[in-house]
Chain A
Amino acid sequence: MIVPLISLTVLGVVLGLILGLAARFFKVEGNPLVEELEALLPGSQCGQCGYPGCTGAAQALADGSAPVTLCPPGGRAVVAALAAKLGVEADLSGVKDAVPSIADVREELCIGCTRCYKVCPTDAILGAAKHIHAVFKEACTACGSCVEVCPTEAILLRPIPPTLQSWGWLKPDVQPRAANEGVLAA
């Protein structure tokens, strides 16, 4: 009984020592590309891409294991910036810009459980136990983390209503006549 215990302990200590030394002496500086890619990402650590935060996503992008279209909240602008940085062609056809939204707490359903503000990556929710929570619309990135943890489905992502300052013309809905329309088939 005592022999395997001692041998395993010694093995663990020795291997741990080797690993520790290796970490110190064979240390690899972080890929500078990862930092540059991370700077292009929204930085809200929302995890919608499936990676643990924007650093993880940047790492995956640098490895080439993730497509440049991985970031849903970033929209087309982020895809274009990432593609330019990595020098790849991006297929923008499938990427939709999400309608600018913010989280909205429905006061009649909120029970003041405080779960949402604990997961908010940008501290955009104000609340206290057994008090109705509120969202700071300037700080909310619509990452949806709070929506997932809310036990009463009191939080929804709602599109931000346009104001006189933010309103803009819609893209003209032009369907030009087909170029060959009216041309007799040869």
Chain B
Amino acid sequence: MSFLSRLKPRGGVHPEGRKASSADTAIRAMPLQQRLYVPLQQHIGAPAKPVVRVGEKVLAGQLIGAGQGNISAPVHAPTSGWVTAIGDHPAPHPSGLPAATVIIEPDGEGRWIEADVPADPFALAPDDIAARVGAAGVVGLGGAAFPSMVKLDASRKSGVDTLIINGGECEPYLTCDDRIMRERAAEIVSGIRLMQRAVGAANALVGIEDNKPEALAAMRAAAAATGVEIRAVPAMYPMGWEKQMIQVLLGREVPAESRSADIGVLVHNVATAWAVQQAICLGRPLVSRIVTVSGGAVAQPANLEVPLGTPVQALYDACGGFNARPARLVLGGPMMGHQLTHTSVPVVKGTSGVLALTQSEIGLTQPAPCIRCSSCVRACPVGLLPLEMAARIRTDDLAAAVALGLKDCIGCGSCSYVCPSSIPLVHYFNYAKGELMAQARGKLKQEATKKLAAERSARMERIAREREEAAAARKAAKEAREAAAKEAAARAATTEATA
């Protein structure tokens, strides 16, 4: 144990958990809806390309969108039925803009495609495991939705010594990981061992916050004699941030602007481990996930196993609707999630929770000037100066904000949470990050158009030159003709004279 690991993790806040309302009821299967809206992009990277036609009959688990490019993931039909349309539908995104979506009308039979199940999953070659995980469309289910195969492949190539499974679930209200660990611990442990084999990691560690004793007990029982170590970590926010988890479990700090793989660690979520087990041992692609439906306005908070593409409204309805006026509907957790623009948006691979919060839970107050109390500095888990960065961004000095470490900000919301002046700090940082990306895109476009303008002026010059040359050639030809005519005339005159 190094000295660092005994230090308290940096920053962090202790928001009220509010998990009890949904943590104690078993996962229920979500009833099938009349229509499923399956977006072709449910992951980070390039959107999938549709491979089905309107009117086509599909089976559960059938490929409907093929991944394209290096970072992408395929999309599968959540149930059997017909493809009724491929078009735009509001995306589960803070903008509420539409995204390409495959709309499936279930036939109610739920027939699966024939699965390719290996005789002994643990005898598969490491790259075969990663390939099967990729083909099943598994992405990080903790919320980031990064394609898991890309992480497994990169980690196998660069070599990692430790696989960490993140059971932190530090966001208030959310209990989907807690429930999956309590109910499906054996499957999760199989998934962990498969991933461990896929990347060749010597150790596998599961970090679970100590506010989930039942999950810890279930996982310890399932992991006995498998070499997978289960460890309790202190409950605080953002313990589920992978770099925080690594520091607490291993005492290693991931340097600024680098990834956990750079220090030989790979981190996956517990629900991802379950999805990996389903993909390899049962040959089932990722077509459903556990979603927490909670918040003060929800009549019966619960965890539902939801087919991807189910509209959010149906989740509220399945939990008894609202018993109080919701002041805000949130997709994801209350700290990092975003406001729902529309309840027709579908559940996707990265949807961990759907909340309906009452006015007393959100407690809006008007922002006031910064009093430089530096609460945000103490709360920042990355060690940044949120008040200074926000002041720079307010005056549009983005370069200064970047110099203060804006790119290392994880947008966890701890600073906004503790700010006594209710300054929307994370909103400033999200704005600045988007603005920097827009500037980078603008620069790329400017370079491209500059090249086009240079090519055009070169072409115009060439055309003018060619025209001049052609004119000169014509003139020369004319002169030659005239000279020849004159000569001929002169010759004719002389012959006439001699004759």
Contacts and interface: CB of A to CB of B under 8 A. Distances in A.
A159 B141 CA distance: 36
Nearest to B395: A92
Nearest to B96: A167
A172 B428 contact: yes
B93 interface: yes
Given A121-B453, A164-B93, A168-B437, A138 B448 contact: yes
Contacts of B442: 77, 100
A186 interface: no
B369 A43 contact: no
A122 B449 contact: yes
B467 to A, nearest CB: 15
Contact of A43 (B427, B433, B446): B446
A134 B226 CA distance: 64
B324 interface: no
A123 B454 CA distance: 10
Contact of A177 (B368, B394, B427, B446): B368
Given A162-B95, A171-B431, A176 B368 contact: yes
B94 interface: yes
A43 B454 contact: yes
B360 interface: no
B449 A141 contact: yes
Given A122-B453, A174-B423, A177-B366, A168 B446 contact: no
A169 interface: yes
A14 B455 CA distance: 39
Given A121-B456, A123-B455, A162-B95, A43 B450 contact: yes
A179 B421 CA distance: 12
B438 interface: yes
Given A43-B454, A167-B93, A168-B433, 9 more contacts: A45-B453, A122-B456, A141-B446, A164-B99, A167-B95, A169-B427, A171-B428, A174-B394, A176-B421
A169 B431 contact: yes
B446 A164 contact: no
Nearest to A38: B450
Contacts of A31: none
Nearest to B93: A164
- 6 nearest A-B residue pairs (beta carbon): A168-B434, A43-B450, A122-B452, A167-B95, A176-B369, A169-B431
Nearest to B94: A169
A42 B97 contact: no
Interface in B409-432: 421, 423-424, 427-428, 430-431
B457 interface: yes
Interface in B207-222: none
B91 interface: yes
A44 B437 CA distance: 22
B424 A43 contact: no
B424 A172 contact: yes
A163 B448 contact: no
7 contacts: A42-B449, A123-B452, A139-B449, A164-B93, A168-B431, A168-B437, A171-B393
Interface in A139-183: 139, 141, 162-164, 166-172, 174, 176-177, 179
A163 B453 contact: no
Contacts of A77: 439, 442
A77 B450 CA distance: 16
A168 B99 contact: no
Interface string B117-131: 000000000000000
B31 to A, nearest CB: 30
B431 A170 contact: yes
B44 to A, nearest CB: 12
